[in-house]
């Protein structure tokens, strides 16, 4: 048996089509959803992510602006830009690409973004609302994981979900979303005892640790759904780099029931979720009902 491949690209394209339709509807009401992406410095991986995000925003009919700032930008200058974007009626979503250079404190920057425009879902208020089970924007990568898991399991009720990684960007919020779906959730991390044994309990295994091919086939319960959040660049034959996930894909495919590939899994769906959040934020700010997506 080999696993069903969960095609994130195809799923993201479907969601993108629905978002484009709703965006058009909103534009007919005189509202053009707008996303501002801020990139500080010239981290090559961040450059690639930011380019995909801004290109997709424009492709779905939204207003897209990219603010590129030099690596030596002072924190006060970045805060001034965020203040301007917070006050700009053409902007409904603000995304500051992480990581930021060392002279800038990410927590201070994240807290400065108006919660109504927090399309990343990283603001403490947004994170708190998620933890409290209140309505609000959901962080993009965790939301992408849930949407992809639901391509396999209509309902997550009672399923054992194991999350590897406890970051504020993925591990913690994806655990909250799984809990909201009535899964039984375990969050594991670097101090977890016998990680492979804990992972083997999972009906849904979410790998978000940022270590290339860390999860091996014998960590996976036969038939489990594996969602791989990792994007790791490794040196391939001939000196080129290639991108691999946090899961040893080829061997995992022989054991899992379903698995997301890297690339082409969680990545494209994360970008689609960012577009969805921008659309949602635009509706909320305009006092309009949420789109039925």
Q: Which positions lie near ligand GUN, rule CB under 6 A?
A: 95-98, 120, 140-141, 169
Q: Which residue, among 139, 170, 131, 174, has the nearest Cα to 156 in the 3D structure? A: 174
Residues contacting residue 25 through CB under 8 Å, at least 6 positions apart: 291
User: And the tokens for 225?
Assistant: 């759904």
- With respect to ligand GUN, which residue has the nearer C-beta, 42 or 157? 42
Q: 276 near 93, Cβ under 8 Å? A: no
Min CB(47)–ligand GUN separation in Å: 12
Q: 144 near 153, Cβ under 8 Å? A: no
Which candidate in 118, 120, 203, 228 is catalytic? 120
Q: Angle at Cα 180 formed by Cα 176 and Cα 186, nearest 5°? A: 50
Min CB(208)–ligand GUN separation in Å: 10
Which candidate in 56, 97, 172, 228 is catalytic? 97
Q: Please give the Cα distance from 56 to 277 (Å, whole number).
A: 13
Min CB(11)–ligand GUN separation in Å: 18
For the question of residue 53 being annotated catalytic, the response is yes
Q: Which position has the token pair 């969601």?
A: 15
- With respect to ligand GUN, which residue has the nearer C-beta, 97 or 188? 97
- With respect to ligand GUN, which residue has the nearer C-beta, 188 or 270? 270
- With respect to ligand GUN, which residue has the nearer C-beta, 47 or 218? 47
Tell me which DSSP letter residue 182 carries: T
Which candidate in 7, 53, 172, 228 is catalytic? 53
Q: Please give the Cα distance from 122 to 107 (Å, whole number).
A: 9
CA 25 to chain centre: 25
Min CB(120)–ligand GUN separation in Å: 5
- With respect to ligand GUN, which residue has the nearer C-beta, 26 or 110? 110
In a 3-state reduction of DSSP, which class is residue 204?
strand
| Residue nearest to ligand GUN according to CB distances in the complex | 98
For the question of residue 97 being annotated catalytic, the response is yes
Outline where 60-93 has alpha helix (H): 75-87
Min CB(110)–ligand GUN separation in Å: 9
For the question of residue 154 being annotated catalytic, the response is no
What residues are labeled active site? 53, 97, 120
């Amino acid at each position: 048996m080999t696993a069903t491949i969960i095609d994130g690209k195809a799923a993201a394209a479907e969601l993108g089509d629905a978002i484009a339709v709703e965006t058009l509807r909103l534009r007919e009401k005189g509202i053009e959803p707008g996303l501002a992406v801020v990139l500080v410095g010239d981290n090559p991986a961040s450059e690639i992510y930011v380019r995909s995000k801004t290109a997709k925003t424009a492709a779905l009919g939204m207003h897209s602006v990219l603010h590129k700032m030099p690596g030596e930008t002072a924190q006060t200058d970045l805060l001034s830009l965020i203040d301007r974007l917070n006050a700009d009626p053409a902007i409904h979503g603000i995304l500051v690409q992480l990581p930021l250079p060392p002279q800038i404190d990410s927590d201070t920057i994240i807290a400065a973004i108006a919660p109504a425009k927090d399309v990343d879902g990283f603001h403490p208020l947004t994170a708190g609302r998620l933890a409290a089970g209140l309505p609000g924007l959901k962080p993009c990568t965790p939301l992408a994981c849930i949407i992809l898991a639901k391509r396999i399991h209509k309902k997550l009720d009672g399923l054992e979900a194991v999350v590897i990684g406890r970051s504020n960007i993925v591990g913690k919020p994806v655990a909250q979303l799984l809990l909201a779906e009535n899964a039984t959730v375990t969050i594991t991390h670097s101090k977890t005892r016998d990680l492979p044994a804990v992972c083997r309990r999972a009906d849904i295994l979410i790998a978000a640790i940022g270590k290339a091919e860390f999860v091996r086939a014998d960590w996976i319960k036969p038939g489990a759904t594996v969602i791989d959040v990792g994007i790791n660049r490794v040196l391939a034959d001939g000196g080129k780099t290639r991108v691999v996930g946090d899961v040893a894909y080829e061997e995992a495919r022989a054991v899992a029931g379903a698995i997301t590939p890297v690339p082409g899994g969680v990545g494209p769906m994360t970008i689609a979720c960012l577009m969805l959040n921008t659309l949602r934020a635009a509706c909320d700010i305009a006092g309009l009902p949420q789109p039925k997506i």
